[in-house]
Chains A and B, each alone.
Chain A
Amino acid sequence: ADDVTLQLKWVTQAQFAGYYVALDKGFYEEEDLNVTIKPGGPDIAPTQVLAGGGADVTVDWMPAALAAREKGLPMVNIAQPFKSSGMMLTCRKDAGVTSVEDFPGKTLGVWFFGNEFPFLSWMSQLGLSTDGGEGGVTVLKQGFNVDPLLQNQAACVSTMTYNEYWQVIDAGLTPEDLQVFKYEDQGVATLEDGLYVLEENLNDPTFEDKMVRFVRASMKGWKYAEENPDEAADIVLENDASGAQTEKHQQRMMREVAKLTAGSNGALDEADYDRTVKSLLSGGSDPVISKEPEGAWTHVITDKALN
């Protein structure tokens, strides 16, 4: 069997259910692959791991991948299981935020470490400065959780539809207390969890073949997970070495994630790609990427895998 190492973007959770299902259900084995899944964490940059050769393929968000590409690390998207974005800004109504116009002067919690790019381009499209200037917003680097919102330290925090939002709800706030701004609705959505490899590796036919089989099995896993969310959540839980995840939360997350993967067969939709690039380029004075990337994606793998 061929060895493949997959680096996740974050800790083991239903966000990555497809891969765990494929592993658990033997889909990888069927493709004669021996897959190792490395969970990520708050300080693991998948891009860096890829550069260091610690993984063959990573799950990452497109803005981070494109930014890395501009830095000289040629990452290529070979598949895009997530069709739509799950990112949103969740605000407390009692903090006085009900619409985008209320942002100026407010404190907003944002994830950094390569996850800040969609937020930054949204703000620059809104014409709001983020460096604490007049009429702009105050940005705080939010930690691993939604505390700043619960503690009233921030008016809004970043959440994912499938994860942090539910932590806010679990903490006791109701959907009525909250005002959410989905990036999709604001027209600033960028592509999230895609599979990326190093460009030079793709020149190697055996590597390409491995990836074809990997993507095929992974997508099979995703589709299985969409159909059997509770079983998928259980599989994820079994693979969680920290023992900290709860069944309720993972089952819910699986259902939400299924909504995001639903529209994708694994192949990258060029229109989505163009939208993402446009959004990232439109960053005003300080865009995330400065020029149209080239060769940042390929259909070669998905074409072979899905036919």
Chain B
Amino acid sequence: MSAVVTTKRPAWMGWALVALAFAMAAAVDLRLVLVLAIWVGGWIVNGLIAQRSAWNWGGYVIPLIFGITLLAMWEVGERMFEISDVLLPAPSEIAARFWLSRDILWVDFVQTVLKGALSGFVLGCGSAFVLAVVIDRFPFLQLGLLPVGNFVAALPIVGMAPILVMWFGFDWQSKAAVVVVMVFFPMLVNTVQGLQSTDAMQRDLMRTYASSYWQTLLKLRLPAAMPFIFNGLKIASTLALIGAIVAEFFGSPIRGMGFRISTSVGQLALDLVWAEIVVAAIAGSAFYGGIALLERVVTFWHPSQRGRT
């Protein structure tokens, strides 16, 4: 961070740009000016906070303000431009619906996230991990399986979903299967790469101790692979949720986030659709954040984690 580039552009240039933007907005539609004003306001507040970097809570506040700015622009824009609710509801309406439909959202959350995504995630990542260790032991498999694996990983899973629904039925098992397929290869590739990431000297050291395969695996290769494994887990965490939801489009019981979304679009209940999307975003971000947190604990020693305090 010591190398932040400080551009010494004179301040008036920035303001001139802002003024120009306002002028252009005003020329198109006066309402745009207000929307733009919200944006600039949020930006200025964030700029001020960022300057006082000593406030270490800036790391949380700044993205929050950024998000609030976006929501405010959405709300105000929605109201002023009178966008139909069957196309895009306002954040306030979504929030109201969120509160009113807590029970439905919870049922859907359990069905999709806890049953579908989480079980698939655990199963997929777990089996990929085990296979990675096995592959790592047999270079022949590595040479043969990885290119094929990369090809399979390129399969658009949206296409797999109907097939897996056909195979595993319409309940959460098929959603978990889709998730397994989705997370398997990213996890496999990352773990294999991680297990190979030890440098020659670290391995030679183990050889000088005449250490056994398992000792080397446990004491050297697995710890060294952790940053890669977490990379895989992070990718998998975003994929898992998407996979579980997507699979519900191809057949499902009458609960679940994907089911609710598609049904509600058909009923023009867009506020409920967006409430589900909010749940998905929160669940996904929390899932991702949880893994990132765990990563920080487990790979505290890695340079990418050390720099942060």
Contacts and interface: CB of A to CB of B under 8 A. Distances in A.
A and B touch in the complex (CB under 8 A): yes
Interface of A: 42-43, 45, 47-48, 51-52, 64, 67-68, 71-73, 112-116, 130-131, 138-144, 147-148, 151, 153
B98 interface: no
A131 to B, nearest CB: 7
A229 to B, nearest CB: 31
B28 to A, nearest CB: 19
Nearest to A68: B268
Contacts of B86: 47-48, 51, 68, 71-73
B254 interface: yes
Contacts of A114: 266-267
A114 B267 CA distance: 6
A141 B170 contact: yes
B162 interface: yes
6 contacts: A68-B86, A112-B259, A112-B263, A114-B267, A116-B266, A139-B254
A128 to B, nearest CB: 14
Nearest to A111: B266
Interface stretch (B30-38, B138-146, B244-252): B244-252
Contacts of B84: 51-52, 73
Interface string B155-189: 00000001001100110000000000000000000
Contact of B262 (A43, A73, A140): A43
A123 B86 CA distance: 28
Contacts of B250: 143-144
Contact of A45 (B166, B253, B266): B266
B265 A143 contact: no
B87 interface: yes
A73 B254 contact: no
B249 A43 contact: yes
A147 B166 contact: yes
A214 B165 CA distance: 42
A71 B93 CA distance: 14
Interface of B: 84-87, 162, 165-166, 169-170, 248-254, 259, 262-263, 265-269
A140 B253 contact: yes
Contacts of A140: 170, 251-254
A131 B253 CA distance: 10
A217 B99 CA distance: 49
A253 B251 CA distance: 25
B266 A115 contact: yes
A89 to B, nearest CB: 16
A64 B267 CA distance: 7
B268 A48 contact: yes
A64 B266 contact: yes
Contacts of A45: 265-266, 268
B87 A51 contact: yes
A73 B251 CA distance: 28
Nearest to A115: B266
Contacts of B87: 48, 51-52
A148 B266 contact: no
B269 to A, nearest CB: 7
B268 A113 contact: no
B251 A148 contact: yes
A112 B266 contact: yes
Given A52-B84, A147-B251, 20 more contacts: A43-B249, A47-B268, A51-B268, A67-B267, A71-B86, A71-B267, A72-B85, A73-B86, A112-B266, A113-B262, A113-B263, A113-B265, A116-B266, A141-B253, A141-B263, A143-B165, A143-B249, A143-B251, A144-B250, A151-B166
A55 to B, nearest CB: 14
B162 A112 contact: no
